[in-house]
Amino acid sequence: MSTIAWRPAQTLLLLVTLSPPAFAANTSAAPFERTERREACADYDEMRRPFFGDLHVHTALSFDAATQDTRNRPRDAYRFAVGERVGLQPYDARGKALRSAQIDRPLDFAAVTDHSEFLGEVQICLTPDMEGYDSLVCTVYRKWPRLGFILFGGDIAGVDSPRRFQFCGPDARSCLDAARGPWREIQAAAEAAYDRSAACRFTSFVGYEWTGAPDTRNLHRNVIFRNANVPELPVSFVEAPYPSELWDKLDVACGERVSGCEFLAIPHNPNLSGGLMFLDHERNRPPFDKRYAERRAANEPILEITQHKGESECQTGIGTTDELCGFEKLPYDRFGGQFDPRQVRQPTRTNFVRSGLSDGLALEERLGVNPFRFGLIGSTDTHLGIPGAVAEDRHQGHGGAGIVRPDGKTIGLPDNIEFNPGGLAVVWAEENSRDALFAAMRRRETYATSGPRMTVRFFGGWGFDEDLCDGPLVRQGYADGVPMGGILPRSSTSLAPRFATLALQDAAGAPLERIQIVKGWQDGDEIREKVYDIAGSPGIGSVDTSTCKISGAGAAALCSTWTDPDFDPNSRAYYYARVIEVPTCR
């Protein structure tokens, strides 16, 4: 295959929302609450540092990964995250991996998020002495893995009310009991990987994936717990077929039954949601009311915008003319389009984050609360147990399309050709501990990258100096404004807000091309948008696709203090920044 010069890599982050009603004063600099016993981190920074991680990781415990002969388990995934080499399929007759992978730089944090659905069923089907092992379903799952994938996946992807298999017995008790072993393994692996020493080298979170996908439309959520206090079993799509029911049951299983248990839910990359992610109602249910909007904003403070199955910021020609909205787009709007040409449907505007942000402004006007006020992250959604494997020059797939034959040979590509290596989650926190990172996710001080480890800061305020880039940008940003994810209180003056943005290139990556600010605002009954170039310039760098050599004058750092020239104090608005590298080879 020929080398392709792709669109510049992008850093995407929701930064500051602006709304006319008065809001509480900025409290982002308040200390976070400590909820666990551990040594104090020696490297503590009150001005916060960026930590890079992956919050979407599947291992051999997931029903789909197992059918592709993934053998890395939660402990292996964490070993990979901190820099160790792990094996990859195919395996020879003696069980030796014929491929391997190793990350170029360790991650700061990660969470294994295996599917809660079928944790027990997979355990039964792969354990000879368990009752149900010889059932027809389990026999198919073992002998014909691809058919087993369709059998299990169809049980949660084609219906509104999923069910347990008959071999699970009365009340599905045998499958729920069997799920306890894998759930304990997930917790034990997270505990073993968590660095509780003063060095604070690595943070692991206990988590799982709630895999709701009615009519193959992806409404998945990753559930992340603050500490080691977690429910007896994860709440799955079988017990909770709607996101609001997931929150209800987690409130009981976590908040009421387990002391010190806290959670947040992260909606998946919405590009495959079939337009469901940003509707003003849950499917087949009445429109949102104020209570629903409050709960969604509280329980889902951040959202995954990019991963190996594409990117969901926006799409050129669907409600926007923005040319950079052509980055990493899939040609279908739901999982079914990946496998069945009859299910290929063109994405609609409610598949994309920018539409969610815009529609949130209108919902806030109606309900008094914005249910779509969220920060952004990226991750990989790896199904090989290799979190943070985002390097394009040695990408080995994440298990989205690899089919393994009984003889151990891999058929075809390791991923669909339209997929990519995935992205990273970046969290600004005082230290690398569960409490600090979780608190940062709660306040939405996060951003997403499409792989590079760029450092990006963004602040909004009313009284910033014009030359803030030459002064104490961070200290004044926290003292006199709000950071990314914050809400800028209404000013008593008619001044326009000022935004300070600083971006540093990935030391191992390409130079920076430019910084843009994307603004969406309410203009009567309409939502409008505009993209502003605030630092750098387009086209300053290029790549020779025959040699992959970069030429031009990209920047190692860009900084800008920008004032909105179109500010209307009577309009609700959101702002986010987009940092773009010069083009590089794919």
Q: What is the pLDDT of residues 412-428, one digit of tens each?
A: 566 888 899 999 999 99
Domain boundary among 409, 444, 479: 444
Q: Is the CB of residue 578 less than 8 Å from the CB of residue 7? A: no
DSSP 115: B
Q: What are phi and psi of 13, to 5 degrees?
A: -150, 135
φ, ψ dihedrals at 280, nearest 5°: -90, 20
Q: DSSP strand E in 328-422: where? A: 375-378, 403-404, 410-411
Burial class (CB in 10 A: 0-12, 13-18, 19+), 569: middle
For residues 436 and 525, state if they share a domain: no
Q: What's the chain's length in residues? A: 586
Regions of the chain with pLDDT less than 50: 1-15, 17, 19-30, 401
Question: Angle CA(25)–CA(31)–CA(37) in degrees, nearest 5?
Answer: 150
Do the domain assignments include residue 504?
A: yes
* Cα torsion angle, 508, 428, 397, 274, sign: negative
| Burial of residue 314 (number of CB atoms within 10 Å: 0-12, 13-18, 19+) | buried
Distance (Å, whole) CA 530 – CA 577: 12
- The b-or-e profile of 417-439 (16+ CB within 10 A means b, else e) is eebbbbbbbbbbbbbbbbbbbbb
| Cβ(449)–Cβ(426) below 8 Å | yes
471-499 burial string, b = 16+ CB within 10 Å, else e?
A: eebeebbbebbbbbbbbbbeeeeeebbbb
State the residue for tokens 């499409």.
Answer: 450
pLDDT at 11: 41
Report yes or no on 392 lying in a domain. Answer: yes
The CA–CA distances, whole Å, from 79 to 73, 100, 283, 524, 538 equal: 10, 13, 40, 53, 40
354 and 207 fall within a common domain = yes
Structural domains of the chain, count: 2
Q: How many CB atoms lie within 10 A of CB 169?
A: 15
Q: What gap in Å lies between CA 332 and CA 339, rounded to an integer?
A: 10
Distances in Å between the Cα of 74 and the Cα atoms of 11, 189, 445 are 28, 6, 27
Task: Please indicate, yes or no, if residue 334 is contained in any of the structural domains.
Answer: yes
Amino acid in the structure at residue 76 = D
Asked if residues 420 and 328 have their Cβ atoms less than 8 Å apart, the reply is yes
Distances (CA, A) of 553 to 455, 513, 577: 19, 8, 21
Indicate whether 50 and 14 sit together in one domain.
no
Contact (CB, 8 A) for 414 and 422? no
b/e code 69-99 from CB counts within 10 Å (16+ = b):
bbbbbbbbbbbbbbeeebbbbbbeeeeebee
Instruction: Tell me the pLDDT tens digit for each residue of 548-585.
Output: 888 888 999 999 999 999 998 888 999 999 999 998 88
> Are residues 23 and 35 both part of a single domain?
no
Whole-number Å distance between alpha carbons of 43 and 435: 15
Domain assignment present for 3: yes
Report the pLDDT value the prediction gives residue 24, as an integer from 0 to 100. Answer: 30
Buried b vs exposed e over 197-219: b needs ≥16 C-beta within 10 Å?
eeebebbbbbbbbbbbbbebbbb
What range does the domain containing 20 cover? 1-28+454-586
C-alpha span between 448 and 13 (Å, rounded): 6
Last residue of a domain, one of 444, 478, 507: 444
Residue 499 sits in the same domain as residue 437: no
User: Positive or negative CA dihedral for 485, 262, 451, 430?
Assistant: positive
Are residues 224 and 150 part of one domain? yes
User: Is residue 211 within 8 Å of 220, Cβ to Cβ?
Assistant: yes
Which SS3 state, helix, strand or coil, does residue 291 take? helix
Residue 195: burial class (beta carbons within 10 Å; 0-12, 13-18, 19+) = middle
User: Which residue(s) pair with 129 in the sheet?
Assistant: none
Q: Two tokens at 296?
A: 């969604």
Contact predicate 429/437, CB 8 Å:
yes
Which pair of tokens denotes residue 65?
């990964």
Are residues 357 and 251 part of one domain?
yes
Question: Both 468 and 413 in a single domain?
Answer: no
449 lies in some domain: no
Q: Alpha-carbon distance 513 to 533, whole Å? A: 11
Domain match, 426 and 470 both: no
Q: Tell me the DSSP string of 9-55.
A: PEEEEEEEEE-SS--PPP-TTSPPPP-S--PPPSS--TT-EEEEEE-
If one counts every other C-beta atom within 10 angstroms of the C-beta of residue 170, the result is 6
Of the candidates 444, 468, 503, which is a domain's last residue?
444
Tokens standing for 356?
């969610």
Instruction: Say if residue 422 is in the same domain as residue 485.
Output: no
| Domain identity same for 383 and 518 | no
Q: Let me know whether 254 and 220 are in one domain.
A: yes
